[in-house]
Each structure stands twice: as C-alpha cells, then as structure tokens.
Structure 1
C-alpha cells in the first residue's frame, strides 16, 4: 500500500528505477529538459498501482510525489459529514499528486486514490525539492503545473455550482477518455460515476440511461462505452475546454490530446 508514511518506501524492490534517457509515460516528466530530468532520474521508481489504492488520507504526511503514467488516473476525494466522498479533480499523465501545491512535507487535506490502475512513477518529496533548488527551470515547471492544478479545482467548483448533472456526466466521461487515451470506453462503474458527481447511485444510473436511450452511451459491467463522442461533447459543459486552454497557455503540450493518446 502506498500511503506516504504509512508503509511506502522508495525501494527498488517494489519497482524499477528509470534511466535518464528512458522516461516514464508521464507528460509532465517528459516536458522537462534533459538536464532537469537527469536530476530526478536516479530517484524515480516506476511500479504498478491497483484501482482504488489509497495514496493519502487526510492528515497523512506527504512524503512521495506520484506521477500517473499512460492510462493510469488518480483522483482527489473530499470526505463529507454524511460519510460520502466527493471527487474534485482527476489527474492523469498530464500531472502528479502529492505535495505539488504545498511543496510537500505538509499534511494531506483530501484523500487521494488511484482511480484507474496502472503504472505510476514515484519520487520522494525531499529529492524533488532538492532538485528544484538546484534548477530554476525545474522549479518553474512545477510552479506552472501547480497553477494548472489550482485552475482545475477552481473550474470544478464553478462546474458543480452551475452545470446540470447531465452536463457534468458528459464532462467527466470525456475527461477520463482524454487522460486514459481510450477512444471508446472508460472503466467506470455506476457507483464510481455517482462519486464523481456527488449524487446517489440511482441518480447516476438514470442519467446514464438517458444517454443510452439517445444512442450516445452504452454500459457494460464495470465500464461505459461511448457510441457517439461528438454528441457526447455537445451534451457536456465547456469546463474541460477551459482547463485544456489554460494548460496550453501555461504548460503547452502537457495536457493529453487525442493525437497524443492514439500514439501513446
């Protein structure tokens, strides 16, 4: 289990270190210059994480930065007084989780879980912070990514306040597809979608049924199949586009595109 101080150690036995010339499939890491990545490479471990694996709980010391690679996704969940968690943002290969805004070594505020399992690159916060002290350009890249992450949070807050459940459903499915690179489906259950939306499972199921009746989506056990992506986009709000546009202004080339997804 990868829970910061609760058991995770940066030990090569649980994964493999990366060579300087062979980077993990994470766009943020691939955005770094060769010199900047060389500062991190000796300390980066790549291993697999299972879906629903807990990375951090509220109050945990943030000791490790996790970079989703390829189709892997992580999610931030805010616990509510009724016992339910509400997901705020998804993070895929465009970014990282753990100490990005706080620069580490502070208690986690939310739960951070693996949404879709797969490879993750990991680096100890102390190693990353030491490298940032040695390189202003590396520090700048992570400051820019922190800005993009905050933009996602702001946009998510606005979206939850003003957009319908149907619009948000379409948005979340499209966001997951973009980040995983799958052009036709996402491994998302009704229960998981309900958590993303902050609604009950029955409500989420009714929304999916309306999309299904219109020929836009279909469902299989444990996954949602997209039949008409263009029509799904028309039903979505523009929050994904706003986030992507900000990424392009601040960190061009980092947010996943359909072209990049198809080529890996």
Structure 2
C-alpha cells in the first residue's frame, strides 16, 4: 500500500476535535471512553487519501468526526471503483471485525476531508477484551454496516439512478449538516457505477427543482424534504435499523 503519511497528519496545529464529534465515542459511558481516550490521536484526513487498500492488513482504525466521510470501495478487475458503503461521524473504519489478521477486502478512500481520531487496531482489540461496553458498541456497529451494505445491494439492483443519487446525498447531508458537500459529479458517478453524463442529467434536474445547488466541486442541499421525497426508501431503512441497534448514537 502507498504510505499515507503525506495524506494524513496529526492535528497538532489546532485544537483536537471533541470526542462528541464522533457518535460512537459520544455513546460510550465515561468509564468506557476513559479506556479509549489515551489511545486516540486526532488527525486530519485529506481528500482522496487511501486509508487502506485491498489485501492490506488493517493496522489502524479511524473514527471520522464532523462532516468527514470515507467510502469503502470494491475494485473490479479492470480497475473500476464501486462504493459498497460510506462511513462518517456515526462510525469507524477498521476495528469492526475482531482479532487476528484482518486483510481488507476493498479500499477505503476519503471523500469529504476533515478531522478524525485514529488508534492502532491492536490496541482497540485489547480494549475490547477488557471493556465489554466497547466490544458491544463495535459489535452493534458491525451489524449496522452489514445492513447498510445489504440495503445498497438491493438499491443498486432495483432503484433508478435519480433515487440512488438522492439516497447518497441524504447520507452525505446527514454528516455535513448545513456545510457544502465537497463532491464532484465525476466522483459521484464513479461511486454509483454510472456515466458522468447520467449524473449530470440528474444533478441538473435536482438543481432546476431548487433541491440542490451545484458549485465547482461543491454541492449544497437547499431543500432536504424535497430530496427525501425524491429518494428511495433505502436511506430511511438503514437509518431505522441504525437507531434500533444503536439508540444512543445519532447520525
């Protein structure tokens, strides 16, 4: 794997994000959080940074904060990248499957840059063995991730591209809030496995309807209720399952 030292840096030149900016950490009881806190390093994740690649041992676990968003990608034989799931402030990348050698099946790439916490996966596994609350939280999140991926399989097979694009934007808006989503139409097309011209048509339709505003590499959601109406049921299905399993964790 290409070294990521140039793509991530310790956030030593500014204040580290509070633990509440990652919802998994915010859901921990104070005693459980105290077991993890000394191990967490605040870092900045740069856009397009590859956190690990297919076949790599997942040595580091990342917990995104605020609007930071990472795509988990499946890489085809001809080099195409298709998004299997995305992770933001509600979750973690790495550290979800416990113990042993953990080769990654796909690639993790930063789509929306920003702050995160990192820690060695081996240290996280050690805390899980000592603190049942931490192990339980990550086990529940692993179940949510499986549900997310299962729903995306159904979505990609059954729903038209406009609904799928709106579903993706809803998840991104959950994490970014009112801040613009840093995203190009070309990137969204790659993630959804369609031609850029297809996404351009969808984007123009949504912009003409006053639902989004497209800038240079940036997208703003102007009318969230209208975006929800245009999307399929997949966003709501995943969110409902998330809150059933992790009722104290907010998206």
TM-score (norm: length of structure 1):
0.86
Aligned-pair CA distance for 1:101:
2.7
Query: What value does the CA root-mean-square deviation take over the aligned residues?
Result: 1.9
Find the counterpart in structure 2 of residue 225 from structure 1: 220
The answer to whether the 8 A contact 2:98-2:125 is kept is no
Q: 1:93-242, aligned counterparts within 5 Å?
A: 93-103=89-99, 105-182=101-178, 185-242=180-237
Q: Secondary structure at the match of 2:21?
A: coil
- Distance in structure 1 (CA, Å) of the matches to 2:210 and 2:123: 50
Asked if 1:34 corresponds to 2:30, the answer is yes
Q: Distance in 2 between matches of 1:215 and 1:225?
A: 10
Deviation at 1:223, TM superposition (A): 1.3
Structure 2: unaligned runs, 5 residues or longer:
13-17
CA distance in 2 between counterparts of 1:204 and 1:158 reads: 20
**For this pair of structures, how many residues does the alignment match?**
243
- Say if 1:227 and 1:40 are closer, same or farther in 2 by CA, change over 3 A: closer
Structure 2 counterpart of 1:61, from 57, 60, 66: 57
TM-score normalised by structure 2 residue count: 0.91
Contact 2:70–2:87 (Cα < 8 Å) also in 1: yes
Kept after mapping to 2: 8 A contact 1:51/1:115: yes
Aligned with 1:245: secondary structure?
Answer: helix
* C-alpha distance in structure 2 between counterparts of 1:182 and 1:125, whole Å: 32
Of 188-197 and 48-57, more deviation after overlay is shown by: 188-197
Alpha-carbon shift at residue 102 of structure 1 (Å): 4.7
CA shift in 2, pair 1:234/1:107, >3 Å: same
User: Residue 48 of structure 1 contacts residue 120 of structure 1 at CA under 8 Å; is this kept in 2?
Assistant: yes
